[in-house]
Amino acid sequence: MKIHRFIGDFDLNQKELEFKDKEIVNQINKVLKLKEGENIELSDGKNSNALAVIKQLDKNYISVRIEKTWKSEEQIKNNVTLFCAVLKKENFETVVQKTTECGVSCIVPIISDRTIKTGLNLERLQKIAKEAAEQSGRGSVPEIREPISFEQSLELADKSNINILFDGSGELFCKTPWERDGASTRNFSAEKYPCVLENNSPRTEIWIGPEGGWTPEEIVEAKKLNFKIATLGPLTLRGETAAIVATYLVSNLC
């Protein structure tokens, strides 16, 4: 039987715990319709976790008994910050949800020259990130920052990190050995983009552009800061698709 997991501001050092978070209380009572005596898993969003037994259900609060606690570490190879242009409609919400599931550590919305939509509901985005972290079994919730300009995002770029701007004009991000060496024998095992091999930094920062792509001037500014310019392949991907694929590759495979 599946044990449902909740992330909240829990003090998991206590033997017994009562919480009044309206969303969690409503989800347990009305959505999942859990019963007294059932197990749930709690996380404080900072990699502390607990197995708890429901003692009492009330429309305003839930009381539980802590059975055991443990620390968890994210099973993600690389710490990734995603700088993503704000996308139209609900597409940026999709980016937040899916990149959280893929392991992103921080999401920074940016306003570039070709960005169309500029408004975001940060409270809603943080809720989406929290729910995605719960669903995917993560021990922490990625930070969602206030939107900034593309120029400001470049100022935040850490030279000690790996900085990659994704654009169709760049070098192929994932190469097989035969593509790299021109070998006649084709070995289809994927190999990391060379820039990742050149730097042992535990953090990578990636930039994804808007629907209309980056301007030539923006690419030039990134190159001035020694950014790697990479492409995900010959097909033209939507902004949200590129953000999800790039985050997964960098977080888990590189």
Percent of the residues in the chain that have a pLDDT greater than 90, as a whole number:
65
pLDDT per residue as tens digits for the range 123-149: 999 999 999 999 888 888 999 999 999
Helix 91-102 to helix 239-248 angle, to the nearest 10 degrees? Answer: 10
The band of 185, judged by pLDDT with boundaries at 50, 70 and 90, is very low
**Domain positions in the chain:** 5-71, 79-253
| Tokens linked to 40 | 């749930």
Domain 5-71 = CATH 2.40.240.20: yes
Per-residue pLDDT at 102 exceeds 90? yes
Write down the pLDDT at residue 184: 47
| Tokens linked to 207 | 């930039």
Please give the average per-residue pLDDT across 69-76, as a whole number: 77
Please give the average per-residue pLDDT across 3-32, as a whole number: 91
**Distance between CA atoms of 112 and 130, rounded to whole angstroms?**
27
Helix ranges restricted to H, 35-176 = 91-102, 122-136, 150-156
Backbone angles phi, psi at 234, to 5 degrees: -75, -20
Per-residue pLDDT at 193 exceeds 60? no
Q: Is residue 18 a contact partner of residue 63, using CB atoms and an 8 Å limit? A: yes
Q: Is residue 14 a contact partner of residue 69, using CB atoms and an 8 Å limit? A: no
Helix 122-136 to helix 91-102 angle, to the nearest 10 degrees? Answer: 30
Burial class (CB in 10 A: 0-12, 13-18, 19+), 84: buried
Q: What is the residue-averaged pLDDT of the chain?
A: 87
The 3-state DSSP class for residue 165 equals strand
Write down the pLDDT at residue 117: 85
Tell me if 5-71 shares its fold with 79-253. Answer: no
Region of 30 please: left (phi>0), alpha (psi -120 to 50) or beta.
alpha
- Report the top-level CATH class of 79-253: alpha beta
